[in-house]
Amino acid sequence: MDCFICGKRGATITCWQKGCKRRFHIPCAVEGKCTTQFFKHYRSFCWEHSPQQARMVAPENTACLICLDLVEGRTSYGTLGCPACKHAWFRRACVQNYAVRAGFICFSCLRYQNQYQFLMGMRTTGI
Instruction: Report d(CA 114, CA 127) in Å as an integer.
Output: 16
Q: What is the domain-level CATH number for residue 62?
A: 3.30.40
Q: β-pairing, 89-91 with 79-81?
A: antiparallel
Q: What is the pLDDT of residue 115?
A: 82
As for how many domains the chain has, the answer is 2
Question: Per the confidence metrics, is the pTM higher than 0.85?
Answer: no
CA dihedral 43, 44, 45, 46 (to 10 degrees): -170
Kindly state whether residues 58 and 44 are assigned to the same domain: no
Distances (CA, A) of 52 to 61, 101, 106, 113: 22, 24, 24, 22
Do 42 and 98 fall within a single domain? no
Domain that holds residue 26: 1-50
- Are residues 126 and 81 part of one domain? yes
Residue 112: per-residue pLDDT? 82
Report CA-CA distances (Å) from 39 to 15, 59, 71, 127. 16, 32, 27, 10
Tens of pLDDT along the chain (127 residues) come to: 899 999 999 999 999 999 999 999 989 988 999 998 877 778 999 999 998 888 899 999 999 999 999 999 999 999 999 998 889 999 999 999 999 988 777 888 888 877 888 888 898 898 8
Do 64 and 121 belong to one domain?
A: yes
Q: 45 and 10: one domain?
A: yes
Which pLDDT score is estimated for 17? 94
Virtual torsion, Cα 95, 100, 103, 106, nearest 10 deg: -30
- Sign of torsion, CA 40 42 47 48? negative
